[in-house]
A and B are shown apart, each in its own frame.
Chain A
């Protein structure tokens, strides 16, 4: 996954929808962390799993 700064900044701009504030001086570090986390998330998401594979934490009633 290739993510350019502008794409990541658009994601950071949505933080306000959650009530989170990301001042400009924090952007570079948040962007760097976002790039790493999204890259790893995409690698995991690319792994084919059967539809029947349950998430690991299964609630027990």
Chain B
């Protein structure tokens, strides 16, 4: 059997476990695809060829577990530690650090399930980005039209999966960095509940808001990866000690019994016609009749903005003092501004966060799943500085996350599902109550089974 670079992780794992396909052949095909496609897409910053080949060979000779992700090639945003690689986190400054001594927890857990790491991926500097552009490594490029943004900050993760180089990638999401690139590149992305998946061995951005999760071309692949990665990790103080709630078995239940509503108000203002049309398509497919609003969603976004700027400034304070000239200027200037914000504003934003969480949890007393646009528009062109949002010309970089920020602000689990468009895809957020990832994944799987949500192969591939 010849490996198909567009095969799903589930298909690859099934064939490798059945020994109708060797892990060595799968990994060789992935490495070939990376060599052929990456020069145009600029997704990978590192390829761990020898490690991947050795791991695949171990799988084939039975020296490594052929688990639920047997032989599945994957790659990680370059803020995940990979033993032997410098964790650059999209920066120039971190390249002066020594290589990581060990893998991040989630890298290790995916490999324990049989997956094979093939490399590390481009990202916006220190994850402070929604565009997928990087002043040091160049922009990652949207596989559906290379003149357009991938979205960020997990731009390389999205380009690698949407471009047919790997079926699975890991990313991080502080304010939308999984969901924005999923939307712009036409992928499924899971941002789990805050505290669900371990961040140990990842370079931080905003400790109060950082999440990690997978990008894939199907709901089943998201669920497979999620199940392999879930579980308490004392190395991440935010990671909660909860019983496993496997997602794969839940997918077959579909959306039956789930109360679904669409988010109105804030989440419908300013979105372009294609973003609203994508939500309407999902609403129609699911037979949704209810509309609900989240109170003070705009203020929630503002509070997320303040916490992000100030916590990130604190994290990078010493680097700003010593090496300010080595930052991406767009990142540096936001961090410097964050360093000047008075402390009472930061504490008030965290107090507001608790109030907002309580209000949103009340909404979930009457509904299980909410739908909202993932991005206000399809992918802007690379280098585009502004776009029109709610009738006003606004900078692209901080505003692509206008619909994602009020949700990650309180750690809700969200699956971004892709809807094809005439030129470029766009995503819809499927949002569940805290710790109910399975509800969001069930709805995503239902939309996928109905042919509404699809990760389309790029026309030029």
What is A's interface to B at a CB cutoff of 8 Å? 11-12, 14-15, 18-22, 26, 29-30, 32-34, 36-38, 40-45, 47, 49, 53-57
Q: Is B353 an interface residue (CB 8 A)?
A: yes
Q: Is B336 an interface residue (CB 8 A)?
A: yes
Residues in chain A near residue B348, CB distance under 8 A: 41, 44-45, 49
Closest 10 A/B residue pairs (Cβ): A33-B337, A40-B302, A55-B350, A41-B345, A56-B353, A29-B333, A34-B337, A56-B354, A44-B303, A19-B321
Are A43 and B339 touching (Cβ within 8 A)?
Answer: no
Q: Is B436 an interface residue (CB 8 A)?
A: no
Q: Which residue of A lies closest to B348 (CB)?
A: A45
Are B354 and A53 touching (Cβ within 8 A)?
Answer: yes
Residues in chain B near residue A18, CB distance under 8 A: 317, 321, 339
Chain B 176-190 near chain A by CB (<8 Å), digits 1 or 0: 000000000000000
Dominant secondary structure at the A interface: helix
Residues in chain A near residue B4, CB distance under 8 A: none
How many residues belonging to B are interface residues under a CB distance threshold of 8 Å? 38
Dominant secondary structure at the B interface: helix
In angstroms, Cα B317 to Cα A49, docked, is 30
Q: Which residue of B lies closest to A21 (CB)?
A: B324
Known: A21-B324, A29-B333, A57-B208. A37 touches B338 (CB 8 A): yes
Known: A11-B340, A33-B333. A41 touches B354 (CB 8 A): no
Residues in chain A near residue B138, CB distance under 8 A: none
In angstroms, Cα B348 to Cα A43, docked, is 10
Residues in chain B near residue A26, CB distance under 8 A: 329, 332-333, 336
Are B329 and A37 touching (Cβ within 8 A)?
Answer: no
Q: Can you list 28 pairs linking A and B with CB atoms under 8 Å apart?
A: A15-B336, A15-B340, A20-B321, A20-B336, A29-B330, A33-B334, A34-B337, A34-B340, A36-B337, A37-B305, A37-B306, A37-B338, A40-B301, A40-B305, A41-B345, A41-B349, A43-B302, A44-B348, A47-B299, A53-B351, A53-B355, A55-B350, A55-B351, A55-B354, A56-B208, A56-B350, A56-B353, A57-B208
